[in-house]
A and B are shown apart, each in its own frame.
Chain A
């Protein structure tokens, strides 16, 4: 995209009127949080693909429902995967109480990848950053090993304003094809997170494109990351999280979206959010949530 398109895109986003909407999903949909806990959502919101319009699942078709469902979860921290500027702009418009951070490609337009959203009122942003999952992690858009797309991990260091507690929240999306890339990408996140003392609470959400038996997941677990879902719900069969907009009709089998933690973080709850509306879904993935206490 050339700069003028970028500017046009920005201009459009800036000039959009606030969109009136009705919140269809009520707050009661989300279970009440334990006092002082932090709720994390991992949402692969699916890139805007024109072909999805054929089944009524384009971003324009589903964005209102998507924002309703995410908003109703009353999360403190949200990790997006596949969100583009249009997704981020819309979700932030619907949920103005969140700030966001994401690295971008080196293009002359801002393409936020794996954006992190956090509640501004609850947390103070201390620092943020990210790196590309490649042999040149500092180089924007760089690709490593057998990856199909450039992949990255973002992090934010947040301080809970009320308690002064400091923690790090990570969000990533491992490659959908390259197994080497998934394993190395997971290992890089382990290396970077292990550079901090075990006393630092850390949370990692992501579409790992990896089922529980995948070596990439093993790398994370061996590297000290605990799966919040299994910690709370045990290892019973979960069903898939990626469903190709087909919901329960999907042939997919595996949970590939994850929320991990390390350090003094205690998982209290974790769920797969299978909510949809009239046979349509907010994305081709179910979102997942975790509720934790920190430190």
Chain B
């Protein structure tokens, strides 16, 4: 929560939702992706906006297995900020034992060709898109509410997805897909959503 508790003010909230029937919340937290991660709304590295990550630690009520889910949105302007921001997320996650499954979902504002993505993979994360069985879908995930029409017109298309579901630890990916559903030519957002079906080993 930031200084202005109501409204957008350029701060995406990155909430995490989970099925309460299936999971129990063990604990949760979050931090600001800046040099002062404890200060709400803080900015570093020319980040155009104050960015943060939220996380939950959940317990599967049936298997008793615990795992973490992180949700973030990296800066859309500053490349340096994106790199420093992902580094913070990776460093924090790395303090957990490798046996603890972790899932990082986010709009990284960076493609699979970016250094941001490389940093994540170098730190031991797996892109569920690549780990999934079946044919790959390298289409764009942003479309400016244009849907199919964006595919041919937007440069964004060429870079492929900028929304990712990354995993760390004992997790296998069954499937991965871009959800392009629309209704009467309108879309639920200016991004397509992505879905990954994961199994904890």
Contacts and interface: CB of A to CB of B under 8 A. Distances in A.
Interface of A: 3, 7, 10, 101-104, 106-108, 110, 112, 126-131, 136-142, 157, 166, 188, 191-192, 195-197, 200
B17 interface: no
Contacts of B27: 101-104, 110, 112
Interface in B79-104: 88, 91-92, 95-97, 99-100
B138 to A, nearest CB: 33
A129 B97 contact: no
Contact of A137 (B2, B31, B66, B91): B31
Contact of B97 (A108, A112, A136, A195): A108
B100 A104 contact: no
B26 to A, nearest CB: 5
Contacts of B1: 126-127, 129, 157
Q: How extensive is the interface on chain B, given as a class?
A: 20 to 34
Nearest to A142: B95
B95 A129 contact: no
A108 B39 contact: no
Given A108-B96, A138-B92, A139-B92, 10 more contacts: A102-B27, A108-B99, A126-B5, A128-B28, A131-B38, A138-B88, A139-B91, A140-B95, A166-B5, A188-B38
Contact of B38 (A140, A141, A191, A196): A191
A131 B3 contact: no
B95 A139 contact: yes
Contacts of B92: 138-140
Contacts of B76: none
B3 A197 contact: yes
B40 A196 contact: yes
26 contacts: A101-B27, A101-B28, A102-B27, A103-B27, A104-B26, A104-B57, A106-B97, A108-B97, A108-B100, A126-B1, A128-B28, A129-B28, A129-B31, A131-B31, A139-B92, A139-B95, A140-B95, A141-B95, A166-B5, A191-B38, A192-B39, A192-B40, A195-B40, A195-B42, A196-B40, A197-B3
Contact of B41 (A112, A129, A157, A195): A195
B122 interface: no
Interface of B: 1-3, 5, 26-31, 36-42, 57, 64, 66, 88, 91-92, 95-97, 99-100
Q: Interface residues of B: mostly helix, strand, loop or mixed?
A: loop
Nearest to A102: B27
A140 B42 CA distance: 20
A196 B88 CA distance: 24
A137 B38 contact: yes
Contacts of B100: 108
Contact of B26 (A110, A136, A157, A200): A110
Given A102-B27, A138-B88, A10 B64 contact: yes
A192 B38 contact: yes
Contacts of A104: 26-27, 57
A285 to B, nearest CB: 24
A131 B92 CA distance: 12
A181 to B, nearest CB: 15
Given A3-B99, A10-B64, A140-B92, A129 B30 contact: yes
A139 B55 CA distance: 12
Nearest to A166: B5
Contacts of A139: 91-92, 95
Contacts of B29: 103, 128-130
A192 B92 CA distance: 19
Contacts of A196: 3, 40
Rank and list the top 3 A-B pairs by shortest CB-CB distance, nearest first: A138-B31, A131-B38, A137-B38
Nearest to A194: B39
Contact of B96 (A103, A106, A137): A106
Contacts of A141: 95
Contacts of A131: 31, 37-38
A137 B30 CA distance: 10
Contacts of A127: 1
A102 B28 CA distance: 8
